[in-house]
Amino acid sequence: METVPDTRLFRDVFNASPIGIAVENFDGQPLFVNPAFCSMLGFSEEELRSKHCVDFSPPEDAEKDWALFQQLRAGSIDHYQLEKRYFRRDGSVMWGRLSISLLKQTPPLIVAMIDDITEKKMAEHSLSDMSRRLIQAHEEERTLIGRELHDDISQKVALVAVSLQRLKDPPTFDKRADGQLEEICERLADLGNDVHALSHRLHSSKLEYLGLEVAAASFCKEFSMGQNVETSFHPEGIPKEIPSEAALCLFRVLQEALQNAAKHSGTKQFEVSIKGSLHGIDLTVHDSGVGFDAERVMHEHGLGLMNMQERLKLVGGTLSIDSKLLCGTTIHACVPLRPKAKSAATD
């Protein structure tokens, strides 16, 4: 027959746990806290008992926590988890993974467990910062190459075409040579158009000077002509003033999504919509093609999809993909107009 452990065993486990544990009343007031909790925040147990559970965090984090806490009190949930920042006594900030559970007794109590994840968050920030720098360097290189193609190589190709055209002017010019020159001029004209289109894909001056709506409409038109497809574009309520990083992010996602669709969907009809709201901008790219297993592609070889996701993450945006085999694909990107504030733990 099993023996029932006495309360001393639970007290020993409570005190020895490397995870911070606090027992709170139904109002969020700490009643008991273990040594790990005290060590994490740098307060004594007596000091922590005089505080409220929302006193340890920045207002935006405390607001999220308290909203969930209210749901717990109302009985709509009996537990929740949240990653949030905590102020230590010395003024420094730590990141914690908070787990809250309700003890249904009389009176009801709350058990809060905190795991210090500051190092994990710092590593994520370092990786995000590296990604940002790589994307920025990539964009700078694309801008340089795009301008070089547009301002130098494209102009030189055009001058060669003009010079060849002038050679045809003498009436005594051999007809056979005339035909060959005509063919060369046509090929040079095609080459010039290709260079011009390439320079726009690398760096859109329209995006820089005329804004997202004009640049997106122009790209859809050029894409349709270049790929021999139909791309309908539907703008709605797009703000005139959009942060440059957000506009560039959406433009690159649009490019990547359409190029992937043309390459893999098996259809020649695409729909693009960009809608603005008070909260952000939504981009949707849809095709009715063969579709794919989004999760498998992301994990196996979806570098294009991962690139979209990483770009959006850097501006506080989100990416969702709805695709099924033989049922088409819809890519939805959302970018907030107000980017998320930089974490205090990473300053």
pLDDT per position as a tens digit, 128-148: 777 777 677 676 666 666 666
Count how many Cα atoms sit within 13 Å of the Cα of residue 113 in the half-sphere of its side chain: 12
Alpha carbon of residue 36 to chain centroid: 35
What parts of the chain have a pLDDT lower than 70? 1-6, 134, 137, 139-154, 156, 163-164, 166-180, 192-203, 298-303, 338-347
Residue with tokens 């098996």: 266
Amino acid identity, position 240: K
DSSP state of 340: P
Residue 221 CA to residue 200 CA, distance in Å, equals 12
- Whether the CA torsion 144, 147, 152, 154 is positive or negative: it is positive
Name beta bridge partners: 284.
273, 332
Residue 17 CA to residue 34 CA, distance in Å, equals 8
* Three-state SS at 265: coil
Tens of pLDDT, residue by residue over 42-72, are: 999 999 888 887 888 899 999 999 999 999 9
The whole model's pTM is what? Answer: 0.53
Which phi and psi angles does 68 have, rounded to 5°? -70, -35
Amino acid identity, position 247: A
Q: What is the pLDDT of residue 1?
A: 44
Q: What is the pLDDT of residue 53?
A: 79
